[in-house]
Structure 1
Amino acid sequence: MLMNRRLFTQSAAAVVSLALLSSPSAWAAGEAPDDMIKRLSNEVLDTIRNDPSIKSGDVDKIMVLVDRMLMPHVNFRRMTAAAVGPGWRKATPEQQKRLQDEFKILLVRTYSGALSQVTNQSVEVKPMRAAAGDKDVLVRTEVRGKGDPVQVDYRLEQDGNSWKIYNLNVLGVWIVDTYRTQFAQEVNAKGIDGLIDTLVARNKANAASAAK
């Protein structure tokens, strides 16, 4: 199963962190990675507050929000390649595009469900252990709300003058690594086309379930 309850919970916590981050950080030049997340968070929160249909859980509206405001700041090609593993290098350009498209739909659908659950959580940002010139950084946070705090870490890479997320660590588990294990089983059993077919089927099932 490509999306189990634990993985959904991890992704939900990651989205809460991305959507509610509010702690500033100094950077020598340009926009700091945690400042970037802060800016995105404010934009997302303002949109959620001003759109009752999103707050009520309208999946289509949430998917548009996530796809438009959050996903451009994720390096999907790198994330997909890492999730697929060695099979990525053997895939044709067309197969790589289909894998990337279907993986994106899977993540957007997961994030959409998580955003509808955002309520009164807050996020504490841990001090960054990075120099101003570093191009690959780790931003560590804790999501605080009901229950115990949830650890959420972000791996970001510098892309020109901006930063892009390429992995998330929730409660000690890296999301891409979790998918890599699941995808490897599919590739070993059915090949790249089999993995694509499985992703297509999973996305259709998720869409049908949300439509009920």
Structure 2
Amino acid sequence: MKILFLIPVFSALFMFGGAAYAQVDQSDPQALIKTVTQQILDEVHTRAIEPTDISRIKDVVNRDILPYIDFHRTTQLAMGRHWRTATPTQQQQMADQFQALLIHMYAGTLAQLRQDQKIDYPPMRVAPTDTDVVVRTVAINDAGPVEIDYRLYKTPQGWRVYDLNVLGSWLVQTYRQQFNDKIQQGSVDALIQFLAERNQQLASGKQ
């Protein structure tokens, strides 16, 4: 059976990750994305990150990236109606396994970042009353520009990312169908087990 959850858009979610040792303006969604994007590029330029260095990648994710992402919300939206019927324990397990999968995917993304990577940010306006926005970016690669859109919502602590779009594919929508198929074939626990097994394979170096 074809292994699911290796869609390239997934790894793009954390391409913008940043470092906590610089002040990040969380009151402006575009400024947030722009600042943390530059910081991760600066980190790669200072010291390359190997895809096998999972320990360092976890440190970067936990310290510098997760503060700007509502991954619980992402998981909730990806599960759709099944989230409401899942127990609190199942919800937490889903979020944990989904996050663990992201870390493995992020390892490959970091390895592909160039030290001279260029990112463009088309102009945007955010009204004071806006609570949900899309920040558009364009990554300039040898093969041509790649559009990556981040969807954020406003919280009392600042803006948080919860979805993204790469070349017309929104992460939440893509995974909602895959999550639903696995749950329909078995159960929420079956999906959790599948994710856990996939994470174990990735941790052992299997693709």
Describe the shift of the 1:110–1:55 C-alpha distance in structure 2 as closer, same or farther (beyond 3 A): closer
Quote the residue 2:109 is aligned against: 114
Residue 132 of structure 1 aligns to a residue in which SS? coil
Quote the residue 1:2 is aligned against: 4
More moved, 95-104 vs 113-122? 113-122
Identity of aligned residues (%): 36
Alignment equivalent of 1:99, drawn from 73, 94, 100: 94
Q: What residue identity is the alignment partner of 2:76?
A: A
Q: What residue identity is the alignment partner of 2:171?
A: I
C-alpha distance after superposition, 1:148-190 (max 9, x if no partner): 2111101001111411101000000001111111110110011
- Please give the alpha-carbon distance, in whole angstroms, between the structure 1 residues aligned to 2:51 and 2:181: 37
| CA positional deviation for 1:98 | 0.5
Quote the residue 1:141 is aligned against: 137
Describe the shift of the 1:124–1:171 C-alpha distance in structure 2 as closer, same or farther (beyond 3 A): same
- Please give the alpha-carbon distance, in whole angstroms, between the structure 1 residues aligned to 2:183 and 2:196: 14
Aligned length: 198
- Please give the alpha-carbon distance, in whole angstroms, between the structure 2 residues aligned to 1:113 and 1:159: 30
- Please give the alpha-carbon distance, in whole angstroms, between the structure 2 residues aligned to 1:161 and 1:104: 21
Describe the shift of the 1:142–1:46 C-alpha distance in structure 2 as closer, same or farther (beyond 3 A): closer
Quote the residue 1:78 is aligned against: 73
- Please give the alpha-carbon distance, in whole angstroms, between the structure 1 residues aligned to 2:45 and 2:50: 7
Which 4+ stretches in 1 moved above 3 angstroms?
A: 11-16
**Aligned-residue CA RMSD (Å):** 2.3
Q: What residue identity is the alignment partner of 1:76?
A: F
Describe the shift of the 1:131–1:89 C-alpha distance in structure 2 as closer, same or farther (beyond 3 A): same
Quote the residue 1:201 is aligned against: 197
Quote the residue 1:60 is aligned against: 55
Judge conservation of contact 1:12–1:115 (CA < 8 Å) in 2: no
Quote the residue 2:122 is aligned against: 126
| CA positional deviation for 1:14 | 4.6
Judge conservation of contact 1:122–1:144 (CA < 8 Å) in 2: yes
More moved, 41-50 vs 89-98? 41-50
- Please give the alpha-carbon distance, in whole angstroms, between the structure 1 residues aligned to 2:51 and 2:92: 33
**Contiguous gaps of at least 5 residues in structure 2:** 19-24
- Please give the alpha-carbon distance, in whole angstroms, between the structure 2 residues aligned to 1:186 and 1:205: 18
**Contiguous gaps of at least 5 residues in structure 1:** 21-28
| CA positional deviation for 1:203 | 0.6
Alignment equivalent of 1:165, drawn from 161, 166, 175: 161
Residue 187 of structure 2 aligns to a residue in which SS? helix
| CA positional deviation for 1:62 | 2.1
C-alpha distance after superposition, 1:117-146 (max 9, x if no partner): 110321111122531331111101111121
Judge conservation of contact 1:168–1:174 (CA < 8 Å) in 2: yes
